[in-house]
Amino acid sequence: MSFQDDLNKLLGSSNPYAQLLGQKVKNINDALEAKTISADEAKDLLNDINVATQIANLAQDLENQILAQKVIDGLIYIIENISSI
Amino acid sequence: MKKIILILVFLISGCTTIMGPANFDNYEYGLINKIYTLSEIYKINCADSNRTKLNFDNLSVISMELVNYSTDIPNNEGTIKLVIPLYKMISSADIKMNTENHSITYCKLKLDNIETTSGIIKHAVAERRRP
Quick: pLDDT tens for B55-113: 999 999 999 999 999 999 999 999 999 999 999 999 999 999 999 999 999 999 999 99
Q: Higher pLDDT residue, B124 or B131?
A: B124
DSSP state for residue B128 in the 8-state scheme? S
Dihedral class, residue B31 (left if φ above 0, else alpha if ψ from -120 to 50, else beta): alpha
Q: Is the pLDDT of residue B122 over 60?
A: yes
Chain A residues whose C-beta is within 8 A of a chain B C-beta are 20, 24, 27-28, 31, 34, 36-38, 41, 44-45, 48-49, 51-52, 54-56, 58-63, 65-70, 72-73, 75-76, 79-80, 82-83
Handedness of CA B48, B58, B91, B34 (dihedral sign): negative
**pLDDT for A29:** 95
Euclidean distance between CA atoms A77 and B72, whole angstroms: 29
Please indicate if any CB of chain A lies within 8 Å of the CB of B95: no
- H or E element: which one contains A11? helix A3-11
Q: Quick check: A51 and B89 in contact, CB under 8 A?
A: yes
- In degrees, rounded to 5, the angle at the alpha carbon of residue B73 between the alpha carbons of residues B71 and B77 is 60
A-proximal residues of B, 24-43, CB under 8 Å: none
ipTM of the complex: 0.88
Q: At what angle do helices B104-126 and B77-99 cross, to 10 degrees?
A: 170
DSSP letter string, B23-77: PP-HHHHHHHHHHHHHHHHGGGGTT-HHHHHHHHHHHHHHHHHHHHHHTTSTT-H
